[in-house]
Amino acid sequence: MRKLFCLLGVLLFGSTAAMAATTFTVQPNSVVAGIAINVPANAKLLTVTANGGTAGKIRLFVRPDQDFSVQSSLMNQASYYSINSSGSIALSIGDYGTPALHGGNWYVALANTDSAPATISLDSVTSTSNAPNTPFIINFSAASTALEDIWGGADKLECDVTPWADATPLGSSTVGAFRKQLLQAAADKLSSQIHSPVPVRIQACWKDFDDSGEHAGSYTLAAATGIYSFYNSPGLPNQNMWYAQAPSARLGGTRACSLDASIDCSIPDIIVWFNKADVAKESYDDATDEPLIISVTMHEITHGLGFLSSMTISNPDKCSDTPPPTGTDCNQIGNFWNDRNDAYTANVAYLKADPAHPLSTRTVVPMADLSKDDRKAAITSNKYLVWNDPLLAQSDDNILRNNTAPSNLVELHAPGTIQPGSTLSHLGPVHVGQLMTAVIQGNYPDTLGMAEPMLERVGWNTGPATHIVDAGPPLTGNWYDPAHSGHGIDFEKIVDDPAGDQYAVIFYSYDGSAQAEYFYAGGRLRDGRFEDPATAGQPAPMGRPVYDPVNHKATYPGAHGTLGIDFSAAAANDPACAGNTQTTKAVLSWSMDGESGKWCISPLANPDKRPDAATDLTGLWNAGSSDSGWGMSILETREDSGLRLNPLLLFYYGTDNQPHWAQADVVNYQPVQTVNLYRIQGYCRTCSKQPTTHDVIGTLTLNLGNPENTETPSGNNRMSININGGGTLKFQRTNVPVRTYSLPLGQ
């Protein structure tokens, strides 16, 4: 998925190993799979090339660890892919992508969508060095028709290229050649500081700038922007976040037009405009201004590399009027495009004052977690809009590094009056001498400085993105969304698997009549995400179980929907999590029966309160395969009152063989203790939050010791259930042995 990005930012390989080129004939509308590339453990870059076939008709798919199934969608299975939109394919996968390149087998599939056979030459090279510093490619000629069409024609695009051909003598060369030299020098300095096997393509233009209005008193030398922005694209650390075109292509390992066939290959990654007003022209004609122009050009290209927020900050001059002019939508300030954060703004935070202690206490709050009103306050707060990176705060380049945290965080440009194209997308004025401040301050830096680690956060990291993807597995147990309390999930690990640990999820909820029901989903955990066990990148199938009383097990008459969970650290920046103040967050996406939702969930209990793993009763319990299809979910915590089992959820079937659930709250657990079971009356999944009611429908007696994960219960753990709730809610078991279906904590 991609979108047009129309915001402006104003102002040698090491050792390599190659696979012998292999030729494949791919029949019309057919697939060739079963191709494995063995990647050394120390490899940092894998480049796969495919030549041959009709342009736009050959697809290359790559995934680690597991071969492709030709019976399923290759796109859904692939971790990386490329289309031969420009006639050939060069797909580069680095240890900076997601999933990161690692040792072992990486599998390749080729698809031919043409009506004629295709002869494809497939080759691969691995390198133990970081991605190369590939030179930027600059187009000084007329912009492509496709680029003009994006802006609505040549008159709207305003891309004058005649100044690049100015033949006026200048020294031993010409004015036009001198101007090209300056732009190329700036691009070369930048390309030497970032690592990309995919070259960045720049369209160089001139136009007249309007320096009136809010820009009065200043002079614009240049401006730049990326063309498209991507989400849900190969290699991105967060699939639910917008990334600029250049880093999206770099992370995906191929050109933008090979990621999305609807993009014309003549479209550049970045467009740069220089001011062609007479006074500006003199600056570009005088060799004494060379350091200034190179610095300004580097600054603008850096915006195109992703140093730019997509958060809406328009109409600032009109919104201060009381009332604002008719037709001015001031409420748009602070919006995210399509309700999705972008990789730059995901790192931006507001040092928000504590109302009780406004002068002394400020809390770091990510922009996505703020209301729109607070976002407006943040971007006009002068010094309280910050780049939320404690590591960068300690940098010697940060003039604020000796301040007490969080006042040592790098400040961003947040003037009292919003300046479109400048507010938010620059360093604050306190950071004198840095390339990405909003105003030229006398020196002309020609290195990225603090912008280099900031660019790492938006897709230019030179190694595994450990600051984005969680290092360890998520906490098992019960999770819930504070905005949908009464609903929730039990997330439990059931199988250790190098290809992705297998987990079970019980989604307990209410139907359209507010009656308790539950669903089951089984899937794998890949790169911090719970998803389809067979198809990477897709949500897991979810079913509503129905009991088979003859065979004593649950059946699933048909797929009921899908369920996916994003546990990665980046999930906290999803717009769904705005307003969730919990420390740990994940994003639950569900779809069933024509309805869908995205909830921000957090653990129901602080992990510090969980007992030792050897005695923790937390998990899914059942009676083994001879009497499966029902069971219970337990979350155990240590409280002042003793061991508490809360919630204890019983999943069972009534006389109608339909799924129901009930809840018990065991405050101070003692063996052979009998407690009440409650039927919960709730509210539908798409309804606003409402109170729930509880009615006693039966009793539960537990005699549990240490957890035991076996196929057949040993009899050391037992339970009795007696539900006489009336109607179809009856269910009974007497002193039956039970075991943990899920793996104990830590396994």
pLDDT in tens, 182-198: 999 999 999 998 889 99
Q: Residue 319: what pLDDT?
A: 54
pLDDT in tens, 241-276: 899 999 999 999 999 999 998 999 999 999 999 888
Q: Which amino acid is at 730?
A: K
User: Is 17 a residue whose pLDDT tops 90?
Assistant: no
Q: Are 39 and 95 in contact (CB under 8 A)?
A: no
User: Is 496 a residue whose pLDDT tops 90?
Assistant: no
Distance CA 661, CA 654 (A): 10
More confident residue, 510 or 575: 510
Lowest mean pLDDT among 334-343, 500-509, 584-593: 334-343
Q: Residue 613: what pLDDT?
A: 63
Q: Residue 73: what pLDDT?
A: 83
Distance CA 54, CA 87 (A): 7
Find the helix packing angle between 290-304 and 175-191, rounded to 10°.
50
Distance CA 555, CA 545 (A): 6
Contacts of 432 (CB under 8 A, 6+ apart): 399, 441, 443
pLDDT in tens, 634-650: 888 887 767 778 778 99
User: Is 559 a residue whose pLDDT tops 70?
Assistant: no
Find the Cα–Cα–Cα–Cα dihedral 492, 496, 498, 501, rounded to 10°. Answer: -10
Which residue has tokens 């440009």? 413
Average pLDDT of span 318-326: 54
Q: Which of 296, 271, 314 is nearest to 438 (CA)?
A: 296
This prediction has a pTM of 0.66
Q: What is the chain's Cα-based Rg?
A: 29
Q: What share of the chain is helix, strand, coil (3-state, %, to 5)?
A: 15, 35, 45
More confident residue, 467 or 33: 33
Q: Residue 284: what pLDDT?
A: 61
Q: Residue 474: what pLDDT?
A: 82
Lowest mean pLDDT among 287-291, 338-342, 470-474, 567-571: 470-474
Average pLDDT of span 496-501: 68
**Distant-in-sequence contacts of 147-153, Cβ < 8 A, 24+ apart:** 147/203, 147/227, 147/264, 147/266, 147/267, 147/268, 147/271, 150/4, 150/227, 150/267
Distance CA 635, CA 639 (A): 12
Distance CA 321, CA 420 (A): 17
The mean pLDDT value of the chain amounts to: 84
Token reading at 593: 């029966």
Q: Residue 170: what pLDDT?
A: 85
Angle (CA) 465-469-475 rounded to 5° is 155
Token reading at 342: 């972008």
Distance CA 81, CA 106 (A): 13
Hey, how many other C-beta atoms are within 10 angstroms of the C-beta on 746?
10
Distance CA 19, CA 36 (A): 10
Contacts of 152 (CB under 8 A, 6+ apart): none
Q: Are strands 673-681 and 659-666 parallel, antiparallel or unpaired?
A: antiparallel
Rounded percentage of the chain residues whose pLDDT exceeds 70: 86
Lowest mean pLDDT among 274-288, 473-487, 696-710: 274-288
pLDDT band with cut points at 50, 70 and 90 for residue 7: very low
User: Is 214 a residue whose pLDDT tops 50?
Assistant: no
Which residue has tokens 């690592």? 195
Distance CA 319, CA 22 (A): 63
Q: Residue 506: what pLDDT?
A: 94
User: Is 137 a residue whose pLDDT tops 50?
Assistant: yes
Q: How far is CA 663 from CA 352, 489, 636, in A?
A: 39, 14, 14
User: Is 654 a residue whose pLDDT tops 60?
Assistant: yes
